[in-house]
Amino acid sequence: MFVKRRGYRHRTGPARLTTEELIAALVADLPTRRHPPQALLPAAVLASVVWAGAALTLTIGVRPDLAIVAGTGAFLFKFVVTITLAATALGLVRSSFSPGFPSTPAPWILLFAPALLAVAVVIELQTLDSGLWAMAATGKNRLLCLVAIPALGIVPLGGLILVLRRGAPMRPTLAGFYAGTLAGGIAATAYALYCTDDSALFMATCYSPAIAALAGLGAVLGRRLLRW
């Protein structure tokens, strides 16, 4: 409809919203919950840490020489990598709850932990005799590592998926992937308390595929269970 005003016509009608404004309006119209879904995430992460630690202690236990190696650089570096991975994945899980939730941090921060590990692998290859590379990569407990990390992480992954279901992830597959990576980081941190293989090569060849298995499972579950 056109309205004449002082020699010109003014068009009135429904305002056009940008995609961001439309999403914000839809989120604002949702009923307010007493406990927002993202507020449950810290509890889910804490429960996951407790579960992984308890499950490790009650099954295979911690390494017998833990008190001796606790201050060594190679042992501590494993936790630097796994905790960095878990922390970056946590930020991405938190940002994936709903369209109206802040989208920071950027997905590339998930590369921090792999980058740290890659640097350590390069250094180890340069300092370690080439005849010992295969032994360092396979370690003493390769099979146990590949089984234990997914086993310790499956319950945390399930809990994180349940929390994400209370939100509305715009990219459910990616949200599930982030949840699987977070569960893998938590499980790997717990397993490192038992693992007697402190080589960066071992982490690259054993920890990485075990965590990747949880991340892949998370992506599958996200695609199936986190759709709107």
Name the residue ranges covered by the structural domains of the chain.
36-225
Burial call 186-196: b when 16+ CB within 10 Å, e when fewer: bbbbbbbbbbe
Which has the closest alpha carbon to 160: 228, 226, 100, 105? 226
Average the pLDDT over 61-75 and give the result. 93
Encode pLDDT of 166-217 as tens digits. Answer: 888 889 999 999 999 999 999 999 999 999 999 999 999 999 999 999 999 9
Please check the confidence at residue 115 and state whether its pLDDT lies above 70.
Answer: yes
Q: Say if residue 75's pLDDT is above 90.
A: yes
Non-local (6+) Cβ contacts of 137 within 8 A are 199, 201, 202, 204, 205
45's tokens: 């992460």
Q: Out of 17-21, 85-89, 114-118, 139-143, pick the least confident.
A: 17-21
Tokens of 54: 């308890």
Calpha distance 181→176 (Å, rounded): 9
More confident residue, 2 or 215: 215
Residue type, 119: V
User: Strand 2-5 relative to strand 8-11: parallel, antiparallel, unpaired?
Assistant: antiparallel
pLDDT tens digit sequence for 13-34: 555 666 555 555 555 555 545 5
Quick one: tokens of 102? Answer: 């802040």
- The confidence score (pLDDT) of residue 168 equals 81
How far is Cα 111 from Cα 129, in angstroms, rounded to an integer? 28
